Amino acid sequence: MRVVCLAGGVGGAKLADGLQQILGPGELTVVVNTGDDLERHGLTICPDFDTVAYTLAGIADPLQGWGIAGETWNVMDQLSRLGSETWFRLGDRDLATHLYRTERLRGGERLTTVALTLIDALGVPSRVLPATDGPLRTWVRTPGGWIDFQDYFVRQHQEPEVLEVEFRGAAAAPVTPEVQSAIRAAEAIVVAPSNPVVSIGPILAVPGLAAEISAARARGVPAIGVSGIVGGKALRGPADRMMASLGEEPTALGVARRYRDAQLLDTFVLDQSDEGLVPAIRALGLETIVTGTVMVDAGSRASLAREMLAAAAWSGASRALKGHEIARQGRPESTVSDDLPE
């Protein structure tokens, strides 16, 4: 089952790991947000790509969810001693990734080419692709003015109120041929429980990418997404506070409404604690799946991934039957199956 997963951050990396556990080598392509990318100490850093790559390689720090397990911080400590700003901390082994990436980019290679080389070197059986090769950057407007995303997220600890979000450079950062090919070959599209505003938002802002997803859905490819907001609280990060300050409802319903407006999904997955929101989400025109969505270990990651792919398979089959004008009465008691389509 060829699957494309849109992801960013730790939540996206966790679901990508669950998908990789149950799919065969080469069946999963993760399209990652590049809006968080930045330049520090003369190096190009791609936080979301690296978090997904390290997680799929089995080397991510299990407590933080980002960075490399067992990391040391000698370079940062010495930079601090020399008087350099070190609010964006980079581990010693993590620095090797950024040094390698920067050298290759300065040599004229595309970000995607470098990404695929890194994934291969880490022994990851899936593909992890930046949504674009272009310099797309997320900026947020706070009461103090416009600041880049990492200034807001890391240096200011997500404390300022976010009044507006902008994806600078998006218009000149088209979708890559590799991402196009992956979506055109996909049998299911999955949207991870990443921040809908600043993780999934920049991906959809890439020219041509949303159109590719729309075309895939039009030809019957099921698209399923899961809320990263559970019980009105973001599992990680500032998604709930950010949505509230932008005038959106900071709940699973608010996430579903955002994705409905983007014409992104057929089916929406929400946690059991939010079951009361099902009627309102179905009123948006989305199928709903209620299950446990909090991923606390490898087993729960795989379980959620399996349920989502089973639901996607049912959705795809249902749409195909409707396309042939075959009436389908009711829904199965459960869309969860241990048997995924071949």
Does residue 320 surpass a pLDDT of 90? no
pLDDT tens digit string along 161-207?
999 999 999 999 999 999 999 999 999 999 999 999 999 999 999 99
- Dihedral sign for Cα 9, 15, 21, 25, please: negative
Query: How much is the average pLDDT of 56-68?
Result: 92
Report pLDDT for 64. Answer: 85
Q: What are the boundaries of each domain within the chain? A: 3-35+127-323
Mean pLDDT of 288-302: 96
Neighbour count for residue 191 (Cβ, 10 Å): 31
Residue type at 181 in one-letter notation: S
Summarised one tens digit per residue, pLDDT across range 121-163 is 999 999 999 999 999 999 999 999 999 999 999 999 999 999 9
pLDDT in tens, 233-265: 998 899 999 999 999 999 999 999 999 999 999
Matching residue, tokens 């620095």: 95
pLDDT surpasses 70 at 333: no
| Contact of 112 with 133, CB cutoff 8 Å | yes
Q: What is the pLDDT at residue 324?
A: 45
Residue located via tokens 């590719």: 212
The DSSP-derived string for 52-108 is HHHHHHT-B-TTTSSSBTT---HHHHHHHHTT---SS---HHHHHHHHHHHHHHHTT
Rounded to the nearest integer, the mean pLDDT of the chain is: 92
CATH 3.65.10.10 fits 3-35+127-323, yes or no: no
Residue 73 above 60 pLDDT? yes
